[in-house]
Structure 1
């Protein structure tokens, strides 16, 4: 083995399939000066015992893109490296045992067609023909993906490693990273030990691919990577005579998957309550280790398996395996540059889909490192979504006991996590709870999603149809449209940007004009160089040198990181002040009458115009009243010091009694905003969506001077739009839209619904989604016939590029 170098362009930590993929793809981009350090031997953590299932369809277009890339790569890799990858495209079948699951997998089939993945719905009889050993007595439906497959995970990692070496990368085993050095807020080097040897590699790029060690490795550098290992079980039978080549089979209603391999059958499980592992750390000696057997834990899965595949009852067990795999709080892996430390990148936390994910993830991360920006929208797996508190081990231990099982649970819309709750709470949480609030959780924040009526159960009854809170949402929604509603939006992210150069920084970052009078509120986006939307926010100018930004709670860490990343020599302080203030949103045509009862200030259009903020007296306290709206009605967002929040809430509630003020939840906020066609970051607008094609050109001011993305805006204006964000309303008032339903234009699938909800004022489900329009006017595009495909059924839809509710925005200026 050659000695470790003193310098490298990039150091990758971890020699599983993830680290090997990143090394391979960086090398393909011409990075020859790469070092990969593995604490023991390649694949010895989790990769070696992975099941090796290659399922191409994922929950979004870009995750599907990455999975398809992995499948294609693994097919080609064997010829390139002469390492057998075991890749066989045997196809996969998912069967449903309930009507709800059938609806879910049929929705997935519609999504697959939209993403150009080969798929077809098949009958139980066809399942039996393809899988003769299966008991189909209670199977009600199934979906077949013929190009899915299976592989040899360890050999794929070895093939990637060989491919990286062939292009100049250096890989060292039995080398442990002991420290990561930093200088001026960036990575500067990596210290290592190998037996009695030790040294340091100077580098400005470190990539944490350490799998279940990634959290502890990251904590050495103050970086947040919330993940935790769980025990993962499967068994392999002895050889079964006559067992032919079979597709991968998933029976999610029984938490099980089946894979034929070399004449044996594997049965694996994603049980509802998993066993977290490694709370006291992972042994220094861990290398190709197995965990102790727990047959009692696996037995319920096996009993269902014997019923589902009776031959398992007579087949001998060759291997009963238990090994650790890492899981994250939301079942999505981590990719990207850590917000806490420049040059520190992460690719870890694969939630048992590491083999199918790592090929594409390695490609995307390598491109991101190489170009300095993501190749396409990766927000779903972006490390910047992680909240600092989530690295708490007790939180993780409890949460991952649930997330492992959620892989095969029904993926109902609005499904809420049951574990690790009540971490972040508004000052009026108990008030809302006492008034019937049913809470959901985002970024750790407990938020009232809907309010139960008296004597109504305060929990979700999940379904793909109208859930048990549908009528509650309708009442709240119509109260906001016709009367007055009150929302607790304390979970908003709040950032102060202040200092001599605060305006200059924001003018560089934001597309809209920020050089406004103090007290003005500006709706704007922060763009990337492609004109894609990195952040969707409002910024209030508080004074000549102080600004106040409001962002979604889920994107706070991302937005802070984006601002700080672009801070050069400016004299500016950027501070997260989220916990300092609560936000009470008073919305609806009667909101002015309510607030005038408890405040002596002038709330008329002349005294407090739309788009302005000022300090007011309210009750016996003070607040900053922002006249803006996310529901499309007259209203104010009231920013109240946390210590006065309960008092202001009580004053508003009392003042609103005779005006029938209604407490409203986040589901109503969403249904109101979608009627108004307001965009939702992460769904309707992402860093891959051009600001003009998203219909937000009104918030872009190229005439103000230079800003990030300006050239891309001018170029798009010159060349014309390739697609537009369109609002849809279903002609049938019964079906529901959530997300990812297929958009059908003149009989052809052309895209997917980016977000959906029920428009209780408009009387049908409403959705937003992009439609290609290159060379077409809006009128030509809208002249087509549109349908939305839901679980295989196509429903006629009306399309509009202007909001169907209050298109001239007259109500917000009442």
Structure 2
């Protein structure tokens, strides 16, 4: 029989029904002997039904066939990761990679970045400073419980952030906008958050979100954009789950709206005691911000870059939330000025 679309599937579904719920009783666990003695089905109808079910299973298999290689590799990666030794900092998937990439991915790769993945998002773990363009790309070394081969690379990066300035791609963070027509968004967030988020416009508040039992649902940063809108930054792994949880707790009158903006912004952390000097070279705006505040400024030729006066590292610096179309330009200017003026 030729497959002709959804209408044919509906005909199959109708044809596999057996009168009086006889098949249902078998599926619920009654014995085959009981089914045979008590109901005495029409065997021709039963055989026809089984053939139809097999055909439906075959159709489902054929639909998934184009994804067989991806599913096989991903399943293999999961199994190998489950049974392999989980070395510290070296337990990364081998298959199903490069699904989600920052606009800076190719540039960072040519600079010797070694990537890990979180929620399918490729993130640089460290940079191999011995890498030369044209050589094979650096790879994660074999696992070890001793000092890993990349330790010295990370030490160089730590010292740069501690004594000079470092540039970190943190684009994988989840980003959402929460807004309402009035001030309903404030009441909504005050109900979910443990910290007071009724802060002045332009302020940032670090807070947790708890469920009705007091358990943590989210660890996030809330930036108040206007009187009736907030910008939320939360961990990469929370993107899908927290979006659904917050939707489930929206007011029933639909006065509050949540929009996922993760892909709209590329995030660059400028970290270190010389971060202010570096930013001053790229913007005519005053970037001498109070802690936990933000400001929209021009960086290079890029407009409307959200500069936030906090980092996720414990060091002084800024988080730049850059419209993704400007990401390469801003990164290029940061690296060029840093190289010329020797901030590191």
TM-score > 0.5 by shorter chain: yes
Structure 1 residue 603 corresponds to structure 2 residue 287: yes
Q: Secondary structure at the match of 1:507?
A: helix
Aligned counterparts of 2:239 and 2:72: Cα–Cα separation in 1: 24
Question: Which residue does 1:511 correspond to in 2?
Answer: 194
Query: Gapped runs of 5+ residues in structure 2?
Result: 1-22, 33-45, 50-56
Candidates 60, 83, 92, aligned match of 1:408: 83
Residue 123 of structure 2 aligns to a residue whose secondary structure is strand
Q: How does 1:128-143 map to 2 (within 5 A)?
A: none
Q: What CA deviation, in whole Å up to 9, does each residue of 1:395-431 have, x standing for no partner?
A: 3232113222333322222221111111111111111
The structure whose residues are more often helix, as a share, is 2
Instruction: Return closer, same or farther for 1:536/1:195 CA change in 2, 3 Å cut-off.
Output: farther
- Out of 113, 120, 139, the residue aligned to residue 459 of structure 1 is 139
Q: Aligned-pair distance for 1:661?
A: 5.2
Q: Give the direction of change, closer, same or farther, for the CA distance of 1:455–1:507 in structure 2 (3 Å limit).
A: closer
CA distance in 2, matches of 1:540, 1:652: 24
Q: Deviations over 1:145-166 (max 9, x none)?
A: xxxxxxxxxxxxxxxxxxxxxx
Partner of 2:225: 542
Contact kept in structure 2, 1:279 and 1:397, CA below 8 Å: no
Distance change (3 Å), C-alpha of 1:489 and 1:279: farther
Residues 196 and 446 (structure 1 numbering): CA distance in 2 closer, same or farther, change over 3 Å? Answer: same
Compute the displacement of 1:394 (Å): 5.1
Name the CA distance, whole Å, in 2 between partners of 1:173 and 1:585: 65
> Could you tell me which residue of structure 1 aligns to residue 329 of structure 2?
647
Alignment partner of 1:556: what SS? helix
Matched-pair contact (CA < 8 Å) for 1:583–1:638: yes
Q: Point out the structure with the larger strand share.
A: 1
* Alpha-carbon distance in 1 for matches of 2:203, 2:220: 14
- Contact residue 74 and residue 95 of structure 2 kept, 8 A: yes
CA distance in 2, matches of 1:39, 1:646: 63
The alignment status of 1:497 with 2:182, answered yes or no, reads no
Cross-structure match for 1:584:
268
The equivalent of 2:37 in structure 1 is: none
Q: Name the SS of the counterpart of 1:504 in structure 2.
A: helix
TM-score under structure 2 length normalisation: 0.77
Do 2:81 and 2:91's aligned partners in 1 also have CA atoms closer than 8 Å? no
Q: Check the 8 A contact 2:81/2:93 in 1, yes or no.
A: no
* Structure 1 residue matching 2:250: 3-state secondary structure: coil
Residue 568 of structure 1 and its aligned partner are, at CA, apart by 2.7
Contact 2:113 2:128 in 1 (8 A): yes
Verify the 8 A CA contact 1:627 1:635 in the aligned structure 2. yes
Instruction: List per-residue Cα deviations over 1:229-287 (Å, max 9, x = no partner).
Output: xxxxxxxxxxxxxxxxxxxxxxxxxxxxxxxxxxxxxxxxxxxxxxxxx67569xxxxx
Kindly indicate whether residue 75 of structure 2 is the aligned counterpart of residue 395 of structure 1.
no
The CA deviation at 1:514 is 1.4
Q: Distance in 1 between matches of 2:24 and 2:340?
A: 68
Q: 2:135 matched to 1:473?
A: no
Instruction: Give the whole-Å Cα distance in 2 for the aligned partners of 1:451 and 1:38.
Output: 60
Q: CA 1:173–1:639 in structure 2 vs 1: closer, same or farther (change >3 Å)?
A: farther
Q: State the distance in 1 between where 2:121 and 2:297 align.
A: 27
Change (3 A) 1:434 1:529: same
Structure-1 residue corresponding to 2:164? 483
In the TM superposition, residue 502 of structure 1 has moved relative to its aligned partner by 1.4
Q: What residue is the counterpart of 1:573 in the other structure?
A: 257
Normalised to the residue count of structure 1, the TM-score between the two structures is 0.34
Report the secondary structure of 2:212's partner residue.
coil
Q: CA deviation at 1:171?
A: 5.5
**Cα distance in 1 for residues equivalent to 2:342 and 2:202:** 31
Secondary structure (helix, strand or coil) at the match of 2:145 reads coil
**Equivalent residue for 1:636, pick from 285, 296, 318:** 318
Structure-to-structure mapping, 1:667-682, within 5 angstroms: none
CA contact (8 A) 1:38 1:172 kept: no
List gaps (5 residues or longer) in structure 1.
Answer: 1-36, 42-169, 175-193, 198-212, 217-277, 283-391, 663-814
Deviations 1:408-458 (A, max 9, x none): 322222221111111111111111011111111111111111000134871
SS in 2 for 1:534: strand
Q: CA deviation at 1:503?
A: 1.4
Work out whether residues 483 and 659 of structure 1, in 8 Å CA contact, stay in contact via their aligned partners in 2: no
Q: Contact (CA 8 Å) 1:486, 1:661: kept in 2 or not?
A: no
Does structure 2 conserve the Cα–Cα contact (< 8 Å) formed by 1:587 and 1:633? Answer: yes
What is the distance in 2 between the residues matched to 1:399 and 1:660?
44
Is the counterpart of residue 434 in structure 1 residue 110 in structure 2?
yes
Corresponding residue number in structure 1 for 2:293? 612
Secondary structure in structure 1 of the residue aligned to 2:146: coil
Aligned pair in 2 of structure 1 residues 173, 468: CA closer, same or farther (>3 Å)?
A: farther
Alignment partners' CA distance in 1, 2:69 and 2:297: 42
Which of 101, 105, 112 is the equivalent residue of 1:425? 101
1:65-214 map, 5 Å: none
Q: Distance in 2 between matches of 1:514 and 1:418?
A: 41
CA distance in 1, matches of 2:343, 2:72: 41
**Equivalent position of 1:530 in the other structure:** 213
- Report 1 or 2 for greater relative contact order, CA contacts < 8 Å, sequence distance ≥ 6: 2
Shift of 1:631: 0.8
Distance 1:173 1:537, change over 3 A: farther
Conserved? CA contact 1:440–1:446, under 8 Å? yes
Inter-partner Cα distance in structure 2 for 1:555 and 1:424: 15
